[in-house]
Structure 1
Amino acid sequence: MNPIDFDKISTWPAEIPSFLREHSTALRAERNADHNYSLSPSTFRIFNEAPPMPKWDEAINLIRNVMYQHDVIAFHATRLIDFDHVRMGGLKMLDLDRHVELIKEHLQAIDASEELAEVDSAVAETLAADRQFIHRQGKVWMTPLRRFLYDGGCDVFFESYGGEAIERIAGYAAGKLGDRLKKMGTPAVVVSRFPAFGWCSRTESRHPQGMIELYLEAEGNWDAMDYGWDVMIERHLPPENIVAVVSYDDPSVAD
Structure 2
Amino acid sequence: MISAKGSDEGAGVIDVWNIDTFDNELRGDLDAHANLIRNHMITSRRQSREHEASDHRMPYPENPHAGEFMALNEHITQLMEARTIRTWHYTRMTDAEIDTLRLKGIYPSSLENIRSRFDAQVVAGAFSQEVADRLFADSPYQSDHLNARSGMFWMTSRPVDIEDGGVAVFLESWGGEAAHFSQEDEAIQDLLKQIGRPRVLEIAMPLSHSRRSSFAAEAVLATYGRTLGCQPDKQVFDLYSQQPLSPAHILAVHSEGEPNFSAMARGYPVGFADLNLGPGGDE
Shorter-chain TM range is 0.7 to 0.9
- CA apart distance, 1:128: 9.3
Once the two structures are superposed, residues 110-150 of structure 1 have per-residue CA deviations (whole angstroms, 9 ceiling, x without a partner) of 2744xx42343344344499633442111111111113765
Whole-angstrom distance in 1 between the partners of 2:239 and 2:69: 23
Letter in 2 for 1:87: R
Alignment of 1:19-38 (within 5 A): 25-32=38-45, 35=48
1:189 is matched with which residue: 194, 197, 200? 200
Equivalent residues of 1:188, 1:247 under 8 A apart: yes
Deviation of the 1:179 alpha carbon: 1.5
Q: Is 2:83 the counterpart of 1:87?
A: no
Tell me the residue number matched to 2:85: 72
Cα gap change, 1:246 to 1:56, in 2 (>3 Å): same
Corresponding position: 1:178 with 2:170: no
The residue that corresponds to 1:3 in the other structure is 13
Q: Partner of 2:6 in structure 1? A: none
1:49/1:34 Cα in 2 relative to 1: closer, same or farther (>3 Å)?
Answer: closer
Q: Does 1:156 align with 2:166?
A: no
Code of the aligned partner of 2:18: K
Matching of residues 209-220 of structure 1 within 5 Å: 209-217=218-226
Q: 1:9 to 1:84 in 2, by over 3 A?
A: farther
* Alpha-carbon displacement from aligned partner over 1:78-107 (angstroms, at most 9, x marks no partner): 111122221111111112442343223323
For 2:20 and 2:35, locate their aligned partners in 1 and report how far apart those are by CA, in whole Å.
Answer: 17
Q: Which amino acid aligns with 1:12?
A: F
TM-score (norm: length of structure 2): 0.70
Q: Which one of the candidate residues 232, 237, 241 is aligned to 2:249?
A: 241
CA-CA distance at 1:60 after TM superposition: 2.2
2:154 to 141, 153, 175: 141
Match of 1:205 among 193, 214, 223: 214
Cα distance in structure 2, aligned partners of 1:63 and 1:20: 11
Mapped to 1, the partners of 2:168 and 2:215 lie a distance apart of 22
Q: Compare the two structures and name the one with the higher helix fraction.
A: 1
TM-score of the pair, normalised by structure 1: 0.76
Give unpaired runs (5+ residues) of structure 2. 1-10, 266-283
**What is the CA RMSD across the aligned residues, in angstroms?**
3.5
Change (3 A) 1:59 1:33: farther
Instruction: After TM superposition, give the deviation of residue 152 of structure 1 in Å.
Output: 2.5
* Number of equivalent positions: 246
Q: 1:142 to 1:111 in 2, by over 3 A?
A: closer
Evaluate the alpha carbon distance shift between residue 190 and residue 128 of structure 1 in structure 2; reply closer, same or farther with a 3 A threshold. Answer: closer
